[in-house]
């Protein structure tokens, strides 16, 4: 049966798999706030092992995982160097300032990579300590990078950032909401990706299809502090094993299939690239996100998105001339073909 709606808005729309429903129904439960939900504990232990980090914490969302990390690492007045289009800076409600009292310093970077020279320049003069300057404390990375069309930060780049951070005694935090896509696309394991960073968040509820949940990982002292932050944020959940049961399946068995999403994203880009009014380079599509420039359409990207919705194809406008399409387990090859047909029909 074809899907009634081809929903390319986000990989967060994915529904739990039948195996997840089974696991939810059969999960052993306790009270995670009291520290005895066995399914949450098992997920955290499995994640710590998989990522090669000493400790892990389950959170309701990726935003909470990132913000708890910032709260654990930072003090008021601290500065975070982050890529200008990153989620932590743009889409977390100003949380860095509001919750940690920290000041993000955005640095533009092609494909999500802040140039190393720009980072070095931003750090020039930070030491010896000067009371006029904010205390630069963290470099925040995002992999894969959402607003840069699912671009993968190369491992060598992450290692180089860590080397720079070590020289200045900075923390490197990785927003790895879609790190699983980087794992699937490259064959490089989670533990290799995160070895150069002090802390990492990963979402189980995006392409990995869990209904709710993220993880934050790092060393024991950091996770202990992040648990305090999660409590403050209201993120202590009682019988959270229901969610962790699905999250375990997400991490254990949903990573490899992401290559199908990546192939469909490239197919979609290939179909769109020939139409003349949509700016997308299939060669640049590394994972499951298409960031597409729109030109020559009356009303721009919002009008095009509305016209697609009338044909039961959903995606999101990002500003007047850009739209985003994301592939995931709940869109299939027919949906991709339907979307391309619609773009052909709607060409100005
Ligand atoms: C790169 C990135 N980081 C963090 C998040 C936050 O995840 P959540 O929606 O679970 O708060 C998202 C969500 O889209 C994201 O794309």
Q: Which of 11, 82, 87, 291 to mutate to test the pocket of ligand 1 (most atoms within 8 A of CB)?
A: 87
- Are residues 273 and 149 located together in one domain of the fold? no
- Are residues 334 and 217 located together in one domain of the fold? no
Answer yes or no: is 55 within a domain: yes
Reading the block at residue 92, the tokens are 């977390």
The CATH number assigned to the domain holding 271 equals: 3.90.1150.10
Question: pLDDT digits over 294-345, tens only?
Answer: 999 999 999 999 999 999 999 999 999 999 999 999 999 999 999 999 999 9
User: What pLDDT is attached to residue 129?
Assistant: 75
User: What pLDDT is attached to residue 127?
Assistant: 65
Question: Which atom of ligand 1 is least distant from the CA of 145?
Answer: 1
Cα(203)–Cα(307) distance, rounded to whole angstroms?
31
Question: Which atom of ligand 1 is least distant from the CA of 12?
Answer: 14
- Are residues 234 and 289 located together in one domain of the fold? no
- Are residues 245 and 261 located together in one domain of the fold? no
- Are residues 187 and 148 located together in one domain of the fold? yes
Residue with tokens 């029909």: 345
Answer yes or no: is 245 within a domain: yes
Q: In what order do the strands lie in the sheet with 171-175?
A: 55-59, 214-218, 199-203, 171-175, 135-142, 78-83, 103-107
DSSP result, 155-203: HHHHHHHHHHHHHTT-EEEEE-TTHHHHHHHH---HHHHHTT-SEEEEE
* Percent of the chain that is helix, strand, coil (3-state, to 5): 45, 15, 40
CA of 87 to the centre of ligand 1 (A): 7
**Cβ pair 204, 54 in contact under 8 A:** no
- Are residues 290 and 146 located together in one domain of the fold? no
CA of 130 to the centre of ligand 1 (A): 35
- Are residues 213 and 340 located together in one domain of the fold? no
Reading the block at residue 38, the tokens are 């066995």
Answer yes or no: is 89 within a domain: yes
Q: Return the residue whose CA atom lies nearest to atom 16 of ligand 1.
A: 146
What pTM value is reported for the model?
0.97
Question: pLDDT digits over 46-102, tens only?
Answer: 999 999 999 999 999 999 999 999 999 999 999 999 999 999 999 999 999 999 999
Question: pLDDT digits over 102-136, tens only?
Answer: 999 999 999 999 999 999 999 887 766 788 889 99
Our measurement of the distance from residue 56's CA atom to the centroid of its chain's CA atoms, rounded to an integer in Å, reads 17
The CATH number assigned to the domain holding 128 equals: 3.40.640.10
Lowest mean pLDDT among 17-31, 127-141, 177-191, 226-240: 127-141
CB neighbours (10 Å) of residue 28? Answer: 11
CA of 207 to the centre of ligand 1 (A): 11
- Are residues 40 and 120 located together in one domain of the fold? yes
- Are residues 313 and 248 located together in one domain of the fold? no
Q: Which of 82, 177, 233, 243 to mutate to test the pocket of ligand 1 (most atoms within 8 A of CB)?
A: 177
Ligand 1 pocket (Cβ < 6 Å) reads 61-63, 87, 142, 146, 175, 177, 203, 205, 214
Q: Which of 11, 58, 63 to mutate to test the pocket of ligand 1 (most atoms within 8 A of CB)?
A: 63
Answer yes or no: is 124 within a domain: yes
**pLDDT higher than threshold 80 for residue 270:** yes
CA of 132 to the centre of ligand 1 (A): 34
Question: Which atom of ligand 1 is least distant from the CA of 64?
Answer: 11
CA of 131 to the centre of ligand 1 (A): 35
User: What pLDDT is attached to residue 1?
Assistant: 81
Answer yes or no: is 248 within a domain: yes
- Are residues 294 and 235 located together in one domain of the fold? no
Answer yes or no: is 113 within a domain: yes
- Are residues 53 and 158 located together in one domain of the fold? yes
Reading the block at residue 189, the tokens are 């394991």
CA of 63 to the centre of ligand 1 (A): 6
What would the mean pLDDT of 142-159 be, rounded to a whole number? 98
Q: Which of 253, 279, 305 is the last residue of a domain?
A: 253
Question: Which atom of ligand 1 is least distant from the CA of 65?
Answer: 11
CA of 70 to the centre of ligand 1 (A): 15
CA of 62 to the centre of ligand 1 (A): 5
Question: Which atom of ligand 1 is least distant from the CA of 86?
Answer: 1
Domain tally for the chain? 2
Q: Which of 232, 253, 274 is the last residue of a domain?
A: 253
- Are residues 89 and 217 located together in one domain of the fold? yes
CA of 334 to the centre of ligand 1 (A): 27
Residue 89's domain spans which residues?
18-253
Q: Which of 200, 231, 253 is the last residue of a domain?
A: 253
Answer yes or no: is 146 within a domain: yes
CA of 45 to the centre of ligand 1 (A): 23
**Cβ pair 135, 79 in contact under 8 A:** yes
Question: pLDDT digits over 253-269, tens only?
Answer: 999 999 999 999 999 99
Answer yes or no: is 1 within a domain: no
Question: pLDDT digits over 161-219, tens only?
Answer: 999 999 999 999 999 999 999 999 999 999 999 999 999 999 999 999 999 999 999 99
Band (pLDDT 50/70/90 cuts) for residue 27 is very high
Q: Which of 141, 203, 288 to mutate to test the pocket of ligand 1 (most atoms within 8 A of CB)?
A: 203
Band (pLDDT 50/70/90 cuts) for residue 149 is very high
Band (pLDDT 50/70/90 cuts) for residue 40 is very high
């Amino acid at each position: 049966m074809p899907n009634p709606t081809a929903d390319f808005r986000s990989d967060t729309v994915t529904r739990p798999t039948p195996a997840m429903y089974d696991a939810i129904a059969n999960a052993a439960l306790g009270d995670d706030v009291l520290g005895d939900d066995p399914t949450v504990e098992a997920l955290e232990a499995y994640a710590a092992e998989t990522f090669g980090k000493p400790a892990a914490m389950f959170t309701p969302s990726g935003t909470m995982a990132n913000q708890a990390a910032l709260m654990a690492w930072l003090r008021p007045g601290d500065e975070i160097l982050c890529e200008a289009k990153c989620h932590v800076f743009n889409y977390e409600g100003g949380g860095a300032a509001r919750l940690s009292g920290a000041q993000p310093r955005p640095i533009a970077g092609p494909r999500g990579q802040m140039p190393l020279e720009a980072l070095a320049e931003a750090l020039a003069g930070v030491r010896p300590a000067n009371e006029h300057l904010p205390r630069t404390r963290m470099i925040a990375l995002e992999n894969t990078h959402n607003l840069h069309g699912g671009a993968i930060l190369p491992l060598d780049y992450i290692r180089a950032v860590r080397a720079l951070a070590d020289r200045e005694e900075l923390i490197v935090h990785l927003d790895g909401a879609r790190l699983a896509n980087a794992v699937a696309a490259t064959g490089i394991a989670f533990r290799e990706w995160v070895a150069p960073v002090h802390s990492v968040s990963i979402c189980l509820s995006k392409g990995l299809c869990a209904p709710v949940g993220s993880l934050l990982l790092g060393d024991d002292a950091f996770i202990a502090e992040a648990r305090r932050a999660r409590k403050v944020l209201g993120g202590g959940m009682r019988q959270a094993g229901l969610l962790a049961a699905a999250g375990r399946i997400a991490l254990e068995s949903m990573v490899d299939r992401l290559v199908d999403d990546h192939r469909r994203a490239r197919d979609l880009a290939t179909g769109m690239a020939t139409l003349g009014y949509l700016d997308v380079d299939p060669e640049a599509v590394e994972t499951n996100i298409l960031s597409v420039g729109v030109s020559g359409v009356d009303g721009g990207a919002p009008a095009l998105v509305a016209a697609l919705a009338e044909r039961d194809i959903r995606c999101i406008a990002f500003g007047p001339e850009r739209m985003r399409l994301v592939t995931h387990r709940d869109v299939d090859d027919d949906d991709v073909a339907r979307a391309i047909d619609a773009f052909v029909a709607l060409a100005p």
